[in-house]
């Protein structure tokens, strides 16, 4: 995306971002249903085939991040977080849109995610971006809290697929 000097900027996660990701996660994920992630958790998941992610900054300050895991034409949104002081300004949907566009450019045709049933802010974000409910997992999160499963079709457009160029 293009942006002015103070507007939001999205950049792909690099191998040296794991400490920053752990700090952002610690500040974003504070609900009873959230599980802890440290720098090693991020290093491990980012080393998996199909893992990708983006960091969202405003000015020079990182304010959010998202991580996806893709297998052929399906992508799971593993994590999306925006710092509390930056919430409510549409940054979450912007980040999610960008993650899904990147996944679609790598051939994803369907996106899936799970969210704690009580996580109203995240459910609002997912609904805005076009996700619909496709299932429920009882007592999936600490609490215990149910998980609601969401899905969305993507306009898959592999950058190496000449029929879409
Ligand atoms: C989910 C999340 C990424 C949304 O980011 P965001 O940039 O605030 O997204 P939006 O601006 O679209 O706001 C989404 C909803 O948050 C709520 N909200 C609005 N202002 C808020 C604020 N200042 N503080 C907290 N929540 C707010 C509203 O319900 C809003 O929905 P609405 O616009 O329909 O009223 C963010 O709330 C977050 O990081 N939550 C903690 C981590 C998490 O649970 N991630 C999802 C599971 S991986």
Residue-wise pLDDT for 111-127, tens only, equals 999 999 999 999 999 99
Residues 6+ apart with CB under 8 A from 39: 18, 19, 21, 22
- Residues 14-71: tens digit of each pLDDT: 989 999 999 999 999 999 999 999 999 999 999 999 999 999 999 989 999 999 999 9
CATH number of 8-164: 3.40.630.30
Residue whose Cα lies nearest atom 8 of ligand 1: it is 87
Q: How far apart are CA 80 and CA 82, in angstroms?
A: 7
Rounded-to-integer distance, Cα 142 and Cα 137, Å: 12
Name which residue sits closest to atom 40 of ligand 1, judged by CA: 81
Domain ranges of the chain: 8-164
Nearest ligand 1 atom, CA 81: 39
- Cα 102 to ligand 1 centre (Å): 22
Structure tokens at 75: 């992508």
User: Residue 3 has what pLDDT?
Assistant: 47
User: How remote is the CA of residue 124 from the centroid of ligand 1, in Å?
Assistant: 7
Whether the predicted pLDDT of 152 surpasses 50: yes
- Write out the H or E segment, with its range, that includes residue 27: helix 18-28
> For ligand 1, which residues put their CB under 6 angstroms from it?
28-29, 79-82, 87-93, 115, 119-122, 124-125, 128
Lowest-confidence segment of 25-29, 102-106, 158-162 by average pLDDT:
158-162
Out of 29, 121, 150, mutate this one to test ligand 1's pocket (max ligand atoms within 8 Å of CB): namely: 121
Residue 54 corresponds to which tokens in the numbers above? 């983006």
């Amino acid at each position: 995306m293009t942006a002015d000097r103070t507007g939001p900027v999205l950049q792909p996660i690099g191998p040296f971002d794991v400490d920053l990701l752990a700090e952002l996660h610690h500040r974003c994920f504070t609900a009873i249903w959230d599980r802890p992630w440290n720098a090693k958790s991020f290093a491990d998941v980012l080393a998996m085939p199909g893992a990708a992610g983006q960091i969202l900054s405003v000015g020079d300050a990182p304010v959010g991040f998202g991580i996806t895991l893709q297998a052929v034409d399906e992508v799971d949104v593993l994590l999306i977080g925006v710092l509390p002081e930056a919430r409510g300004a549409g940054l979450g949907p912007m980040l999610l849109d960008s993650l899904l566009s990147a996944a679609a450019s790598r051939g994803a045709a369907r996106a899936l995610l799970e969210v704690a049933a009580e996580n109203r802010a995240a459910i609002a974000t997912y609904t805005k971006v076009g996700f619909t409910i496709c299932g429920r997992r009882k007592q999936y999160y600490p609490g215990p809290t149910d998980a609601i499963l969401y899905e969305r079709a993507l306009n898959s457009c592999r950058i190496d697929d000449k029929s879409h160029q």
